[in-house]
Chain A
Amino acid sequence: MARQSGDGGGRTIRVLTALGILVPVLAGVTSLLFYVRPGLKPCLGGSSAAFTGAPVFPHVRFRDHLVRDGDSREEAAKEPDLLGAEVRFSYRAKDLRGAELPLTWSLVSIERDGALGAVVPDQDRALAMTVSPQACTESGGKDLFVVIPSPHTRYRVVLELYRDANRDDRLALLETSIFHG
């Protein structure tokens, strides 16, 4: 019995010693791997997203919007020069790397008393783009051109970011300030 006990104690010490070497080595290799290939690092914690700002610039012509977005004036001249507003939104997404998040906008008219009016029919959750975060925490943004149907009406734009293509799960929503069309 004494001998068996002595063997068991030795084995335990050997296992603990091996673990004491293996664990730091594995941790080091993993840290190095994540340093070299940060895309392999798992995202920890609950996923979330939020709009961090969306100032509106009214009375913008679509061609000017395109030129600001990088198109040449020659290319922009091929487009209809609609009147609208530019919503310069930004967002932050956390732990959503690899997800495809549809971003939509709605244009809502404002009543005289300031209450929300009707949604402009052809701009009700219109698809702007799909946000695809490439990192565990990512910030981004875009200038969105919104066509204004009536220049004498006040409007608000509602931006929404969804978790999936079916838009069952909204991650973020933002109402812009009220602006004149």
Chain B
Amino acid sequence: MLVSVEVAGAAAHPNTPRMLYVKALGGGTVVSLDGRINCGTRCSASYRPGTLVTLRASGGGYFSFEHWRQDCVGTAPRCIVALDRKTSVTAVFTPHRGSVSLTVGGGGKVVSDPDGLACGDGAGACFASFANGTTLNLHPVLAANSVFDRWDGACRSAPASGCTFRVLGDSEASAAFRKDVPSSGPQTLRANVIGSTVSSEPAGISCPTTCEASFPSGTPVTLRGSGTYIWTGACVGLGGACALVVDGPTDVGAQMPPPAPPPPPPPPRRSYGINVSVAGKGVVSGGGKIHCGSQRGTLLDCEGEFRRGAEVVLRATAVGRSRFVRWSGFCQGKRPRCSVRVTAPKIVTALFRR
């Protein structure tokens, strides 16, 4: 999702106010710290030439800010634009992802459109993630001698032909198939539970105390656990519940997934030096620590240490009759503003000439 910011009026008279236009296409907002831009709702404002406007991008709903494009670069959600020339800024937002987990009881399979899920009847893709907002279609695929019985979970009220829903966060769905000709007489449902508890609806199973129960053939049963399980046997998939039809001797296994390995310890936050040199008459400042090239001050004013991953915006300002010519080192180009990513100790040189 994109939000575009455009500064107009670069070719206008030096004192002509510069317009800052913001286009919000959804998924996030861009606001200016002076409060004049708040896009989505207030997407333009005029500024005096040379004004520095700080923009901040914030993800909305199920979107998060990813990076800037064009005249702002980097992944930090804050960017400063100088209204001294035509400037275009784009904030890129990407949707969060939601997970869908499926359980399938009986002989049959459920597949998804878009692809990602194919669960049951020998297929084991019972968990997938999709971008939030995706419209997901789930279709039952019958196996030999099977009939679709019902949906449950996120698809509870869906018709037998298929289930359609929007992915927003994490969700679970269940599908149950039954035999086209059920066995006659009462049938046994046996649960083999490892690690926690499972109960049935209608009552009968309350495992680990009662792990076996008899139901009239063709009884729709939903097994529920106290957490998320890997289901095996007559029910397959991943989820907190499994819907099935007891129309023959039925064995179901439920096992807690192995605990996730502990996350690796975060790497130490390192800091690196950003070193600025000025050739000619001019001043380079930025990052709140660097103010290099002025008559006063020391060489220590030409360096600063910043956290790894930070973005340091350097600005070159000519003094007297000189003019800024170009950057070299880890800044490139001829524009007086440069953004340096702190990924290593770096050097930057600004060249000014009369």
In the bound assembly, the distance between CA atoms of A163 and B271 in angstroms comes to 18
Is B329's CB under 8 angstroms from A147's CB? yes
Is B343's CB under 8 angstroms from A66's CB? yes
Residue-wise, chain B 340-354 has the 8 Å CB interface mask toward A (1 for contact) of 010111011100000
Chain A residue contacts of B344, Cβ below 8 A:
62, 65-66, 69, 144-145
Chain B residue contacts of A165, Cβ below 8 A:
300
- Total residue contacts A-B, CB cutoff 8 A: 63
Contacts A66-B343, A69-B344, A71-B343 known; A126 to B330 CB distance under 8 Å? no
Is B329's CB under 8 angstroms from A127's CB? no
Is A79's CB under 8 angstroms from B343's CB? yes
The reply to whether the CB of A121 lies closer than 8 angstroms to some CB of chain B is: yes
In the bound assembly, the distance between CA atoms of A104 and B275 in angstroms comes to 10
In the bound assembly, the distance between CA atoms of A166 and B299 in angstroms comes to 10
Chain B residue contacts of A127, Cβ below 8 A:
273-275, 303-305, 345
The reply to whether the CB of A90 lies closer than 8 angstroms to some CB of chain B is: no
In the bound assembly, the distance between CA atoms of A135 and B277 in angstroms comes to 35
Is B347's CB under 8 angstroms from A126's CB? yes
Q: How far is the CB of B332 from chain A (nearest CB, A)?
A: 6
Smallest CB gap from A120: residue in B = B347
Contacts A122-B347, A123-B347, A127-B303 known; A80 to B272 CB distance under 8 Å? no
A interface residues with partner B (beta carbon < 8 Å): 62, 65-66, 69-71, 75, 78-80, 82, 104-105, 121-123, 125-130, 144-145, 147, 165-166
Q: How far is the CB of A79 from chain B (nearest CB, A)?
A: 6
Interface hits, B7-46 → A, CB 8 Å: none
Query: When A and B form their complex, which 9 residue pairs have the shortest distance between CB atoms, in order from nearest?
Result: A127-B273, A122-B277, A126-B275, A128-B345, A127-B303, A122-B349, A122-B347, A128-B273, A145-B344
Dominant secondary structure of chain B at its interface with chain A: strand
Contacts A80-B330, A147-B347 known; A126 to B303 CB distance under 8 Å? yes
Residue-wise, chain B 285-323 has the 8 Å CB interface mask toward A (1 for contact) of 000000000000001100111000000000000000000
The reply to whether the CB of B334 lies closer than 8 angstroms to some CB of chain A is: no
